[in-house]
Chains A and B, each alone.
Chain A
Amino acid sequence: MNEVMQFSAGHEDLIHDVAYDFYGKRLVTCSSDQKLKVWDMDEEKGTWVPNDSWKGHDSSILKVTWAHPEYGQVFASCSFDRTVRVWEEQDQGSYENSAETRAGVVLEAKNGGRRWAEKARLADSKGPVQDLEFAPTHLGLKLATTAADGILRIYEAMDVVQLGQWTLMDEIEIFSGGQPPPDASTTTTSGVVITSHYCLSWCPSRFQPQMLLVGCGKENVAKIFRQDTHGKWHPSEQISFHTDLVTDVAWAPNMGRAYQLLATACKDGRVRIFKLGGASSGATGPGLSASSAPWQTVGANQKKSGPAKFQVEMIADFSDHGTEVWRVDWNVTGTILSSSGDDGKVRLWKSSYMDEWRCMSIISAEQGGGGDHGEAAMLR
């Protein structure tokens, strides 16, 4: 950990998500103050300068996600107000007759909502939309959302140029119990209301069939959802081990590993990493299987002998945070996992020798700086 740069987004309430664009030179932050803020990297100065800031939703904005730049400068946000909104940057001419932002000060009223136009509003959910993510680009312009109503929705843009029309391709009930999912909350016998939480993450791999990792609310599990041959989504592998709500899931980018990695954050205070192996033929081992079966063949196998399931193996289970863990995120190469929780710390995890995952460093909130505990951990 070399340095921590202060980055003051100036939100008036909790920031719930930040997202880099594909190139890493643009940042969008969203907050409970209902504002979305876009930041651009000033490459000369090496600082983040505000691009625009506007009220994006009527309630807490929970997540933001960028679309691949081949679809333009587009991102989507989801909120407690039960909507998903898709935003696109406008040509300069259409807004730039007002005073520009100067000297690093956001003139929110001036630019507000004009630089970024709301292209679509998806209001199918009956509860707060808790997570969303654009599909990996090889699947087209698709957007998956989960909401407190317990439904996983997959949208697809009909016209990638206009972005105004999003078709709800699939509505999948995450809850497998059979009874209707609770609307945002359930009253337990003791009279305490627990609010459920659903989260999702696309499988980013180009060579796997479409898959989604979904945190399944009060079932206290994460599940992998796959499409069957008829295009219907079904829960497949169930990832247990959790003793409370799964608060976040992250499917690691795979840049050339023979296996897939998943990470979950859990309200029970733990970060867990899972390894998926033996997808197609049950062949295990880290080696690159010589029989190079392209994924189409995998699909063929599925037709014959049902969906070939991954072997899920928990390879790490960390309780370091001690309190609710809220987020897990993989770096771009899928080699380092970051987790953050209510303890006010970000921890970085990295696989050391022989797939042993260890804490690499800890970023704590108090100092705003980095403390490198990783080495001590390694020495032990």
Chain B
Amino acid sequence: MKKAAVLTSVPAGSNGPTAGRDLPPSALLAQPVQHHVSPLRLRLTGQLTSVAASADMDWAVVAGREVLKIVAIYSDDVKEVLNLRAGAKMSTNFAIQDVKWGNSFAKSTVATAASNGAVVIWDLNRPNVHKLERILTEHTRAVNRISFHPTEPVLLLSASQDGSMRLWDLRAKSIARNAFEGRAESVRDVQFSPTNPYEFVAAFENGSIQKWDIRFPTQHERKWNAHNGLALTVDWHPDGRLAASGGRDRLIKVWDMKSESRLPLYTISTIAPVARVSWRPGSDTQLASCALATDYAIHLWDLARPYIANQSLEAHDGVTTGLLWRDPNIIWSCSKDRSFARHDIRAHAYRPLSCLNTSAAAWNVDGELTFAIDERPILSSAITATTSTSLPGATALANGPNTTGSDGVDTTTSSDESRLGLPPPIPATALTQGVAAAAVAAATSSYYPLRRALRKPPEKVVGDEKIAQYKPRQRTGIADTDTFDVHAFIAFATDLQLDHTDIWTSCDINAQLALDLGLLRTAQTWKIIQLLYGGRNPGAPEPSNLSALFRGAPDKHPNHHPSSSSLSSHQQSPGQVTPSAARALEALFAPLESTQSQAYDGNALDVPATGLSVRSDTIIGTNGFLEPQNRRLTVGSSHSDSALLKDIQESADPVLNKSDNWVDTYATVHRTDKFNSASQTPAHNGPFQVTDRPLDLDNNNDIEKTGPASARPLSGHHRQTQVQSQRPHHDHGQNSGRYSDEHEEDEEDGYSDTPDVSSSDSESSFTYGLKVGAGRRTLARFGIGTRPPVSDKGSHASKHTTNTIGRSFSRNRRRSQFSASALPSNNNSSDNINHASVPPRDVVLAPWNHEPVVRDTLSYYAEQGNVQMCVSIILVLGDLIRVDEKMEELWFWSYIDLLHRFKLWSPATAVIRAARIPSVRARNQESTTIHTICNHCSKPMLTSTPGAPNWACEHCGRLVNPCSLCHKTTKGLYVWCQGCTHGGHLACLTDWFSNDLECCTGCGHQCLSRQFSMAVDVGG
């Protein structure tokens, strides 16, 4: 009667999956609770070791050391029904190892295996409380596992620690029908074949599994050496062909029981000794396992992807000791945590895969990125949607912004199929079909009869063809992101001149090096550093000495610098020209003096054509400077210095070419400034990254088309086009035109007016022009204003081809500023070039301190991660630059670390030695100890003062390494003959061997061959 009640209650569970299958997947997910069986748990009084289900899967019997109870499982509840131990007087050592419930032909029979070797048969039909029917005590040691015959309800097989298996006919009186001796140590598991009534399989402690035929009790039919160490469990697949075994070696192996092969078909590696395995009903590829220790979870494995558990179920807080499938989705388990539990893997298990990252990436020093990436959009969106209720945008996020919420649900749930089934794409179809078929089977009968009766094996025999293994779709590759110029780094590291005694030369070498490497910005930086700090007279560039410096530069070429002398006098008028401004001018002068001093010479007017052509050259030089691939780079290089120099002097061009034309320049700068403020608006929507390059491109093209010969008219023309193409410049151009006119007048007036006009404004604008580093934003706007918008795209392309990043830095901008101002002023100057030069006398220049700019430069490079530049500049400038000590130390350490990464040990050591920060220098004094011993007595040479070596041994009192010839101690190079070991000073021995071939000690050894002596002669 009770059973009927149970039967009606259970189908809710078994119908669950079927209903779920019939409904559209979205419905499945929308109402998950309806279709999943809620987790059930029953606490019992003792640890449990085994669980078995009644034939109709309504009841379970759980067994343990102190427990043997029958529980009834309802759809939403589990209740203890019967305590079999109540009436039985069993001693406590009668701990139950295994329990089995008779199949549908013996529904009332329960068998237990005990640790004392007894097999106990219980009859539930007994009317009184004593359900114990009989005790079979033939085993001498614990019985580990028992197995009912699938069709013959009276046949029971037991496997014992005593190494034997016994087949019991329950009709007979307590005598085993057969005993099978495995001769392979203790038997841990035994199970009848689900298809062949005569076969059974057993797992042994020596790691083997054996297949037996009950008709041949003397010898096993087949044997596999399955595991390293104990084989703990074995389970037939319902098809009767495959069997899975688990062992203490943490492996699950799947065997073809019909094959001759001694190798497993599949191997699954788990993280703990495998206590039990159990095939998922209806599935050819999935099986569940639980561990003997360590791992409390139940894992569902898939043979197609043997490395990652398909699903994991944290069912218990202790070791799971027994598990069985109620149906394809529901697992009953018992545990040492004293509980029995029922879980639905669809709802309560999680996918370890979803916790694993599908992508990986790593950078190396070369700027290469190794990556492994995979696509998992659908699955992940499902997870996101189902798990993160706190994220409203999750589905939309997964499906793109245009999908609605309901669409999102559909998408996510459609993937539920793949979640339930298997990793897409390969095995999914086959498997889900399998599961579905099983579910249908479960629906047609009220219980899942797979294990209870012999079934017709599935048509598809898995062993015939290997299950398609999961192949990761992940792509791996190494991308060269081209973000770190290794070649240049190494070249700089090894060849940079870091000597700060001659800054001029060091900077020059470094700039040239950078230029050779095509790193124009770096070269530029070095050049500017050179100009700012180098000075031809070292030690001068203290700010207080600027005026001296300024004077000093012309001093080098006193004959060529009448104008500079006038400048000096001009500077000397107090309050008129500030030192820093003079300094800037000096900077501009410096290159010129080395290249074409005559161009801005007082005689410049005598050679206007020369001056002009040179200037156009230098403009080209600038352009080439910005574009590494520009052939024009070489155009100007016929001059005494590099094209680079000219580049800078180009920026100085308006000033330099007509040193007499100062005012003009300033006026231009000033105008630029005005126009700059006018161009604020376009600057807002324009990217700042693009600097002056488009301009240069234009320049380039124009100038390249025509030869240098036509430079002059062209430059004028170019200016025109430029002006027209730019709104701001238009204005500007007009201005300059006006100003040029003024100049012509001024020229006669001796510039009496113009300086005044400009001086008030140009004071700020000129300073501004030089201190570009300080205010980047403004500068960028400036840059924008000067660039023709048309060439935006082109510049973008070119910008990315260079390894310099689009973002310009202060130095660059500063130059751009110059060129911006230079261009119009050139225009002017070309107009004015024929006019008599009148030195400006009334220019008021604002003080300019260049140190912040240099610091800005350092910060800029640090931001770019280019500590090499930071450290190099600091080393070259030495005490001339002060930066935050902490920061400097960071740069040094970072640079040394980088050098080490490239195995550039020597440069690293050099940097450490050159560093001025004690903690960095100390690094070279760490961890290197040199022990010396006397070469006569082999006693250690102890020195009282470290670093001062002893020349004589304290122990034997003899000289260390005396020269064989002069008998004095050899310091420095010691050469010796490897044949006779005599040697000494290089000079002594060279001298000796220039005449002799034999050893100087008279030992008779002919140290030199004749041939070699000749070589020495030649060398000497």
Contacts and interface: CB of A to CB of B under 8 A. Distances in A.
Contact of B901 (A19, A327, A332, A353): A332
Contacts of B367: 331-332
B263 to A, nearest CB: 14
Dominant secondary structure of chain B at its interface with chain A: mixed
A294 interface: yes
B715 interface: no
Interface stretch (A10-18, A113-121, A139-147): A10-18
Contact of B484 (A195, A332, A342): A332
Interface stretch (B471-479, B523-531, B753-761): B471-479
B948 interface: no
Interface in B704-752: none
B387 A292 contact: no
Interface string A191-231: 11111010000000111000000000000100000000000
Interface string A339-372: 0111111101011111000000101010010101
B391 A244 contact: yes
B280 interface: no
Interface residues of A, number: 114
B391 A368 contact: no
Contacts of B350: 185, 193-195
B951 to A, nearest CB: 35
Interface in B346-367: 347-350, 352, 354-367
Interface stretch (A54-62, A94-102, A104-112, A150-158): A54-62
Given A7-B370, A24-B366, A244-B384, A80 B391 contact: no
B841 interface: no
A289 interface: yes
Given A244-B388, A345-B373, A336 B481 contact: yes
A324 interface: yes
B864 interface: yes
A324 B398 CA distance: 9
A227 B896 CA distance: 27
A325 to B, nearest CB: 9
Interface stretch (A168-176, A251-259, A301-309): A251-259
Interface in B887-919: 887, 889-891, 893-894, 898, 900-903
Contact of B373 (A244, A346, A372): A346
Interface string A251-292: 001111110000000011100000000000000001011101
Contacts of B394: 244, 268
B777 A354 contact: yes
A181 B174 CA distance: 53
A192 B397 contact: no
Nearest to A123: B294
A192 B369 CA distance: 37
A311 to B, nearest CB: 18
B991 interface: no
A267 B484 contact: no
Given A82-B271, A338-B369, A333 B384 contact: no
Contact of A193 (B348, B397, B901): B348
A324 B384 CA distance: 8
B807 A352 contact: yes
A87 interface: no
B478 A4 contact: yes
A22 B365 CA distance: 8
B884 A34 contact: no
Given A327-B357, A363-B479, A206 B890 contact: yes
Contacts of A58: 250, 269-271
Contacts of A13: 305, 307-308, 470, 472
Nearest to B381: A323
Contacts of A8: 476
A247 B356 CA distance: 10
A379 interface: yes
Chain B contact patch, size range: 35 or more
Given A187-B348, A327-B361, A336-B483, A379 B356 contact: no
B380 A16 contact: no
Contacts of B479: 1, 3-5, 346, 363, 370
A1 B481 contact: yes
B308 A60 contact: yes
Interface in A47-79: 48, 55, 58-60, 62
Given A7-B476, A15-B372, A20 B363 contact: yes
A342 B374 contact: yes
Contacts of A192: 32, 347, 386-387
In the complex, which of the residues B33, B387, B780, B866 has the most CB atoms of chain A within 10 Å of its own CB atom?
Answer: B387
Interface string B958-969: 000000000000
Contact of A378 (B297, B376, B474, B687): B687
A335 B350 CA distance: 38
A25 B499 CA distance: 32
B495 interface: no
Nearest to A193: B350
A20 B370 contact: yes
A112 to B, nearest CB: 14
Given A243-B390, A324-B380, A16 B360 contact: yes
In the complex, which of the residues A3, A332, A375 has the most CB atoms of chain B within 10 Å of its own CB atom?
Answer: A332
Given A256-B894, A323-B377, A292 B884 contact: yes
A132 to B, nearest CB: 14
B36 interface: yes
A149 interface: no
Contacts of B36: 191
Contacts of B893: 206
Contacts of A15: 360, 372, 472, 474, 476
A365 B269 contact: no
A23 B901 contact: yes
A190 interface: yes
Contacts of A322: 377, 397-398, 400
Contacts of A24: 364-366, 368, 901
Contact of A361 (B470, B481, B900): B481
Nearest to A8: B476
A16 B363 contact: no
Nearest to A336: B483
B666 interface: no
Contacts of A205: 890
Given A60-B356, A352-B806, A193 B484 contact: no
A205 B359 CA distance: 27
Contacts of B397: 268-269, 319, 322-323
A247 B357 contact: yes
A334 B471 CA distance: 35
Contacts of B348: 187, 191, 193
Contacts of B83: none
Contacts of B891: 255-256
Nearest to B859: A288
B551 to A, nearest CB: 33
A38 interface: no
A375 B384 CA distance: 32
A342 B363 contact: no
Nearest to B890: A256
A184 B317 CA distance: 12
B689 interface: yes
Contacts of A17: 357, 360, 362
A317 interface: no
Contacts of A351: 863
A118 to B, nearest CB: 16
B865 A255 contact: yes
Given A62-B356, A342-B375, 10 more contacts: A17-B360, A18-B361, A128-B355, A187-B39, A331-B865, A333-B865, A338-B363, A340-B371, A353-B687, A378-B687
11 contacts: A18-B370, A29-B372, A194-B350, A197-B355, A244-B391, A257-B862, A268-B388, A290-B884, A331-B369, A346-B373, A378-B806
Query: What 6 pairs between A and B have smallest CB-CB spacing?
Result: A333-B865, A24-B364, A256-B862, A344-B375, A340-B359, A326-B357
